[in-house]
Amino acid sequence: MWIVNDLNLKKQARDLGIKFWQTPGFLFIMLGVLSVVVMTATFYISKNYDSPEMLVVAESIVVIVILSVGNFVISLIEQMIRLNRMKSEFVSVASHQLRTPLSAIRWETELLLSKFRKESVSTKQRQSIENINTLSGKMTKLVNDLLDVARIDQGRLIIRKMPVNIVELVEEAVTGVSTIVKMRNIEVVFKDKKNIPLVFGDPEKIRMVIENLLNNSIKYTTNHGKIEIKLLKKGDFVVFSVKDNGVGIPLEQHDRVFDKFFRSDNVVKYQTEGTGLGLYIAKNIIEQLNGKIWFDSVENLGSIFSFSVPISRKSKK
């Protein structure tokens, strides 16, 4: 239990961008240790000295130290909570304000592209409009990711739960990446998809997780690579997994993979794009659906990312 709590404290510290010894959790631990030491000293004095004055002094020191440190810890916690709330609110408001003009830009460029299919324009003009459309799409995704992170941090991420055909979601995701895998000569194989029951969850959120894991595999797999997707019924869950032979993740960084804004050192060399938010969002979505997400990776050999979601009751009947 102590080990789990310690790991959680370290993760929270990394998310806030501060050192572990600066966190309220660490201060609480130190307060507890200090209290035990002072109370032990008081007990020792009471057993070995008959002077009541010494005992009163020792007890007063205990009370003063505990109250002083406790007040400091409480003040620090309140300040951190306030700053964290302000940060989340700023990200949420800024993202909302950005999403409207970005949506308008995409709409206008799509209209222009649709019109130019019927009219004669230069190749350079068309490429410029397509670039605007592509970049605005990337910006829209970034804004949506920031909004999801803000909702997760504030406990406001809305998760619907209904029977979902996960096979169809995976097939749609594979179809969506068909162009880019063809350009890079990457083979995508989707097997073990027969007799897969319906799962219970949010179709949009599950699709988001599938697309994120699949896009990551494509992004970090070199040309002429191979990606394998599997679905497997395991007990009361359906397990999705995507395996690639890409760059992999260094062993010493495995414990940070699902942290907010994390990107492994070797990944940055191959792919400059990315925010490090996708896996953080995916982990929170799957856990809110009462599932689990995990991975196995070896640097320079590849990775397998997997998640489980519960089977729908309709499929159990």
More confident residue, 308 or 103: 308
Eight-class DSSP state of 311: B
Q: Tokens for 173, please give them.
A: 């995701």
User: Quick check: 196 and 167 in contact, CB under 8 A?
Assistant: yes
Chain mean pLDDT for the chain: 78
| pLDDT for res 107 | 78
Cβ count within 10 A of residue 61:
13
State the helix-helix crossing angle for 2-16 and 24-48, rounded to 10 degrees.
130
| pLDDT for res 94 | 66
259: phi then psi, degrees, rounded to nearest 5: -75, 150
Mean pLDDT of 8-31: 54
Is the pLDDT at 264 greater than 80? The verdict is no
Q: Tokens for 262, please give them.
A: 């994390």
d(CA 107, CA 4): 48
* Residues in the chain, total: 317
Eight-class DSSP state of 251: G
pLDDT one-digit tens code per residue, 209-242: 999 999 989 988 887 889 999 999 999 999 999 9
Out of 3.30.720.120, 3.10.20.340, 3.40.50.1370, 3.30.565.10, select the CATH number for domain 162-316. Answer: 3.30.565.10
Mean pLDDT of 165-183: 92
Cα separation of the two ends of the chain: 38
Cβ count within 10 A of residue 200:
22
CA distances from 123 to 35, 86, 110, 130, 265 (A): 75, 47, 16, 10, 38
pTM: 0.65
| pLDDT for res 203 | 93
| pLDDT for res 191 | 81
What are the start and end residues of each CATH 3.30.565.10 domain in the chain? 162-316
pLDDT one-digit tens code per residue, 69-85: 667 766 776 776 676 66
pLDDT one-digit tens code per residue, 94-146: 666 676 777 777 777 877 777 766 556 677 777 787 778 777 777 777 777 77
| pLDDT for res 81 | 67
Mean pLDDT of 159-185: 92
* Range scoring the smallest mean pLDDT among 55-69, 124-138, 175-189, 299-313: 55-69
More confident residue, 62 or 16: 62
